[in-house]
Amino acid sequence: MRRRTFIQKSALLGSGLLLSDRLMANLVAEPISMAMIGCGDRGKGVLSVIKAMPELFKISAYCDVLDFRLAETKPYVPASAEAVKDYQQILDNKNIQAVFIAVPLNQHFKIAKDAVLAGKHVYVEKTMTYNASQALELRKLVKQYPKQVFQVGYQYRYSPLYFKVKEMIQSGYIGKVSQIDCRWDRNGNWRRAVPDPSLERQINWRMYKEYSGGLPAELLSHQIDFINWAFETQPSEILGTGGIDVFKDGRETYDNVQAVLRYKEAGMIGNFGATCGNAHDGYLFKIKGTKGTVSLLTNTGVFYPEKALAKELGIVDGVTSATKIAPNADGGIPILDKPTIDGTNYALKAFYESVTAGNMPVSNIDTGTKAAICVSMCNEAIYSGQRQLWKKEYD
C-alpha cells in the first residue's frame, strides 16, 4: 500500500524544531525585558517558566496589589527585579519592553489597553476580555499599533500535538467532523485560602460575576478557541444551562455548566461542559469525524480510526508515518510518540520569536477576540437561558 502521511513540512514543525532554529538565530539579540502584572497562581506559574529562559527574557519587575502575593513571588524572580503595587509604574518604565497580564478577568481589558497605549508588547492570559464589547474595542485599538506584538495565552495553540491535530482536521484525514465533545471537570470547590476575610472577593474572584467568567472563561475557552482555530470557524448560535448545584457557599458563578455550540457553516455541533462535582473525566476532548475520532489530553492524543479506514490503512500508519501500525490495546493509534511538555514553554518561545522577528502570533488579537466573544455568548446563554446568535459586527 502506498505510504500515507498528512504532514510534510507543516506549521507543526514550525512550532518545534524549526522554531528552535529561529530562536537560535535570534539569540544574538538581548533578552526581552519584561514584567509580570498579577502574581497569583497563574502569574507565578508563568514566571517559573520564564525564569528558566534567561536567554529569552529578563524579568525586570513584577506587580500585584496584595503584599503577600509579592512576597510569594520572590522565589520566582531574580533579586534585581522590582516589586511594585501600581502597574502604571511598569508601563511608565521605558526599559520594559513587554508585559505579561495575569490578573482577574474583569481587569484584562483596562490593563491591556493601557499597556498597548504605553508602547509595550503584550501577552495577556485567556480569556482576553470580560465581555464582547471590550474585545471589539481592544481589537480596534491593537490594529492601530501593528509593530507591537499582542498575544493571548492559549498555550495549546503552540503545542506540537495540537498543531498536528489541526493538520489532521484540515487535510481531511479524520473525515467530515460532525460532533465535538469537550469537558474539563474537577471535584472540589475551586477556592483559594483567604488569610483575611476582607480579601475574599479579591482572592476568590473566580466565584463572583463582577470579576469572572466562571468555568467557560477559565477552562472551556481553551477548547472553544482550538475549535475556532482548527476549523477556521466560529459558532453561529449557542445554547446553555447551568447552576450552583454542588457548592452552595455564597458563590455567584455556576459550578456546573453545559453549552451547545452550533457551527452551521461547518456542519458541526460542539458540546462543552464542566462541573466542580466529579473529576472522573477531567480534561476530555473528542473530535469525531467520518473516518475516525481524535481523543486529546493536554499533552497526549490518540486517533481511533473507523473500521473502514482501519482496513484501508493496512500496515501503514498515516498518523505517525510509521511503517507498521502499533495500535494500543483499545485500537487507538498514538498521535505523537511521546507526550509534549507544558504548553506554556512553547507559547513563551513563540512570543519571544514574534517580538524579535516582528511576526504576528498564532494566538493573536483577532483569534483572542473571537474566543472572548464565544465565552461571553456562552455565559449569556447559560445565565439567561436564551439562545445567543453570532452577530455581523463580531466578524
Q: Which residue segment(s) compose the domain that 104 sits in?
A: 11-156+352-364
Q: Which tens digit of pLDDT belongs to each residue from 52-91?
A: 999 999 999 999 999 999 999 999 999 999 999 999 999 9
User: Is residue 343 in some structural domain?
Assistant: no
Query: Quick one: which H or E segment has residue 177?
Result: strand 177-184
Q: Domain for residue 89, yes or no? A: yes
* 228 within a domain of the structure (yes/no): yes
> Looking at this protein, which amino acid is placed at residue 154?
Y
Is 15 in the same domain as 84? Answer: yes
Sign, Cα dihedral of 317, 322, 327, 332: negative
Regarding pTM above 0.85, the answer is yes
**How does pLDDT run across 323-382, given as a tens digit for each residue?**
444 567 788 999 999 999 999 999 999 999 999 999 999 999 999 999 999 999 999 999
Does 23 have pLDDT greater than 70?
A: no
Question: Do 203 and 71 share a structural domain?
Answer: no
109-136 per-position pLDDT tens digit = 999 999 999 999 999 999 999 999 999 9
Cell digits of residue 224: 472553544
Average pLDDT over residues 172-188: 97
192 and 102 part of one domain: no
In a domain, 2, yes or no: no
Reduced to 3 states (helix: H, G, I; strand: E, B; else coil), residue 62 is strand
Mind listing the pLDDT tens digit for each residue in 43-54?
A: 999 999 999 999
Confidence band, pLDDT 50/70/90 cuts, at residue 27: low
The reply to whether 6 falls in a domain is no
Is the same domain home to 72 and 113?
yes
In a domain, 21, yes or no: yes
Residue 329 and residue 255 share a domain:
yes
Pair 254, 387 in one domain: yes
CB-based contact 145:116 (threshold 8 Å)? yes
| Range of weakest confidence among 33-37, 179-183, 316-320 | 316-320
Task: Quote the number of domains for the chain.
Answer: 2
Q: Which residue has the higher pLDDT, 316 or 201?
A: 201
| 206-255 per-position pLDDT tens digit | 999 999 999 999 999 999 999 999 999 999 999 999 999 999 999 999 99
pLDDT band at 28 (very low <50, low <70, confident <90, very high): low
Asked if omega into 369 is within 30° of 0 (cis), the reply is no
CA angle (190 as vertex; 61, 186 as ends), nearest 5: 120
Q: What is the DSSP string of 65-94?
A: SSHHHHHHHGGGS-TTSEEES-HHHHHH-T
Pair (52, 29) in one structural domain? yes
Judge if 172 and 144 occupy the same domain: no
Q: Is the Cβ–Cβ distance between 168 and 295 less than 8 Å?
A: no
Residues 273-323 pLDDT 10s: 999 999 999 999 999 999 999 999 999 999 999 988 777 665 445 555 544
Same domain, 168 and 149: no
Residue 345 lies in a domain: no
- Do 360 and 298 lie in a common domain? no
State the Cα–Cα distance between residues 238 and 260, nearest whole angstrom.
6
For residues 251 and 256, what is the distance between their CA atoms, to the nearest angstrom? 12
Residue pair 258/240 in contact by the 8 Å Cβ criterion? yes
* Residues 120 and 209 grouped into a single domain: no
344 found inside a domain: no
Task: Please tell me the chain's helix, strand, coil percentages from 3-state DSSP, rounded to the nearest 5.
Answer: 40, 20, 40
**Are 208 and 117 in the same domain?**
no
What's 103's domain CATH number?
Answer: 3.40.50.720
C-alpha cell belonging to residue 158: 503552540
Looking up residue 204, the CATH number of its domain turns out to be 3.30.360.10
Per-residue pLDDT at 14 exceeds 60: no
Kindly state the helix (H) or strand (E) to which residue 371 belongs, with its residue range. helix 365-384
